[in-house]
Amino acid sequence: EAQVTQNPRYLITVTGKKLTVTCSQNMNHEYMSWYRQDPGLGLRQIYYSMNVEVTDKGDVPEGYKVSRKEKRNFPLILESPSPNQTSLYFCASSNIGPVSGVTGELFFGEGSRLTVL
């Protein structure tokens, strides 16, 4: 079954304690991305990756890191989480167009709800 898997689904942590949210897809997609969803702000892109070892900042990258060492995995790292990073996080993957850009359906994980105290 084609899917994007995120873990953990729910996490409560404290300020400053490093955490990683994992994301894995089984569709051999080149494009992967992280979004955060906050009330009234919709989905905002944190980081995206067009392929292995290629990552780029989205609209709200501050406080986050990513890596793309393998095609299937795209972990989101919060080195020193702060309360303003309390949010619902989505990982997504897709095919890309002839050169770049998302042209296909974006497949989303189920979301990871993070609370930073």
Partner 1 sequence: AQKVTQAQTEISVVEKEDVTLDCVYETRDTTYYLFWYKQPPSGELVFLIRRNSFDEQNEISGRYSWNFQKSTSSFNFTITASQVVDSAVYFCALSEGIYTGANSKLTFGKGITLSVRP
Interface residues toward partner 1, by CB under 8 A? 33, 35, 40-45, 48, 50, 56, 58, 88, 90, 92, 94, 96-108, 110-111
Beta carbon nearer to partner 1, 7 or 15: 7
What's the closest the beta carbon of residue 71 comes to partner 1, in angstroms? Answer: 17
Helical ranges in 1-117 per DSSP H = none
Q: Strands 76-78 and 112-116: what pairing?
A: unpaired
The least distance separating partner 1 from the CB of residue 15, rounded to whole angstroms, comes to: 25
* Residue (14 or 54) nearer to partner 1, CB: 54
- Tell which residue, 99, 77, 103, has the closest CA to residue 21: 77
Exposed / middle / buried, residue 42 (Cβ in 10 Å: 0-12, 13-18, 19+): exposed
